[in-house]
Homo-oligomer: A and B are copies of this chain.
Amino acid sequence: MLIKIKKSAQSSDIQLIRQLLDQHNLGHRVINGQDMVIGVEANPSEEVAREIHSLNGVESATPIATPFKLASLAAKPEKTVIRAGGVEIGGNSVILMAGPCAIESKEQLEDVALGLKGTGVSVLRASAYKPRTSPYSFQGMGEEGLKLHSEAKKQHGLLIETEVMDVRDVALVASHVDIVRIGARNMQNFDLLKEVGKCGKPVILKRGMSATIEEWLMSAEYIIAHGNPDVILCERGIRTFENATRSTLDLSSIPVLKRLTHLPVIVDPSHAAGRKDLIPALAAAAVAAGADGLLIEVHANPKKAKCDGKQALLPHEWADLVGQLRKVAQAVGRSI
């Protein structure tokens, strides 16, 4: 259930509502957005619902069938369009986000930014903090990387996005970039979700490798319920027995999500495939299936990349791909 609080409500009114919920063991959370809302874990019995309706501070109380509430179409039937810089994510345009896996140097960012020029890319992706399986692998350039990223933004007029892994880095990261990214391994790092809920920047939430679509939406709900409605879901493959690809890209999640949530959905075929030769087919399929954007790895010198070189496209391959994607987007009534 979602309880909308009257603008005129006093804090004592809110106290009374919460007491009633506690009394019936209904987990909940007060959310201060444009309107004040109380998200309630479950739908109360009819009797309790009537009691809630009758309370002073309550403007409306809407039962929601799904465990995610604010993220649900039931709560908000119109599609969410997220504005970052002049870019609209979730609108008619399919948004292109491209760049290297990791930030490695000023020159590397420079080279890739130049390579992306004129290809319709809105957002330069790159990571300063890298979740690496081995403690002995390159862990990212950290704050120094963020600064290089910021410079590239100014120089090339691209928005920038990057991953944040540590709650202690959220404020710093958010101060540098236009879009904050939560990686697949942190999809259920709930303290991190709470923190980006307060960061004031749109958040790309990657699907966890073994997360159901429902769990993924519950993680989006965490971010919204902590104050940030600008969540972009990013499908990047799930772990299955098939080993021809690194993960199995679950493109069914796109139409499934469109029937469950108003949030925009983008696709990262690079991490799913783990090899660049599959990217064109998967990117085209994602656009055809209704993706609102793509997140793709491009590197001007993949052989020297410090990570994931095998899955990065060269700038000219990327440019060719965009040409093809544009046609597919038009075929499904979208633009690039």
Residues of A whose CB lies within 8 Å of any CB of B are 27-29, 39-41, 67, 69, 131-139, 165-168, 185-186, 188-191, 194, 208-210, 212-215, 218, 221-222, 225-226, 238-245, 248-256, 258-259, 272-273, 277-278, 280-282, 284-290, 324, 327-328, 330-332
A132 to B139, CA, bound (A): 29
A244 pairs with B214, CB closer than 8 A: yes
Q: Known A-B contacts: A238-B242, A249-B251. Give 11 more (CB < 8 A).
A: A39-B135, A41-B136, A135-B222, A168-B168, A213-B244, A241-B241, A251-B281, A255-B277, A281-B290, A284-B332, A324-B331
What is the distance, in angstroms, from A43's C-beta to the closest C-beta of chain B?
12
Chain B residues near A166: list those with CB within 8 A.
167, 191
Contacts A213-B242, A278-B252 given; does A132 touch B285 at CB 8 Å: no
Tell me if B272 and A252 are in contact (CB < 8 A): yes
Q: Contact: A210 with B212, CB < 8 Å?
A: no
Give the number of times this chain occurs in the complex, counting copies.
Answer: 4
Chain B residues whose CB sits within 8 angstroms of the CB of A167 once the complex forms: 166-168
Which chain B positions have C-beta within 8 A of A280? 255
Can you give 24 A-B contacts (C-beta < 8 A)?
A28-B136, A39-B135, A40-B136, A41-B134, A135-B190, A135-B194, A139-B190, A165-B190, A168-B168, A185-B190, A212-B241, A212-B244, A238-B242, A238-B248, A244-B253, A252-B273, A256-B278, A258-B281, A281-B290, A282-B289, A285-B286, A287-B288, A288-B288, A288-B289
Nearest CB to that of A243 among chain B residues? B212
Contact across chains for B282 and A251 when beta carbons are under 8 A apart: yes
7 tightest CB-CB pairs across the interface, nearest first? Answer: A210-B210, A288-B288, A255-B281, A41-B136, A327-B331, A285-B289, A285-B285
CB distance from A280 to the nearest CB of B (A): 8
CB–CB A252/B244 < 8 A: yes
Most chain B beta-carbon neighbours within 10 Å: one of A28, A239, A258, A330: A239
Specify which of B135, B210, B225, B327 is in contact with A136 (CB 8 Å cutoff).
Answer: B225
A213 to B278, CA, bound (A): 15
- Inter-chain contact B218/A191, CB cutoff 8 Å: no
Q: How far is the CA of A226 from the CA of B330 in the complex (A)?
A: 45
Q: Considering only CB atoms, which chain B residue lies closest to A242 in the complex?
A: B212
Q: State in angstroms the CA–CA spacing of A241 and B254 once bound together.
A: 17
Contacts of A168 in B (CB 8 A): 167-168
Set B137, B284, B287, B288: member contacting A27, Cβ < 8 A? B137
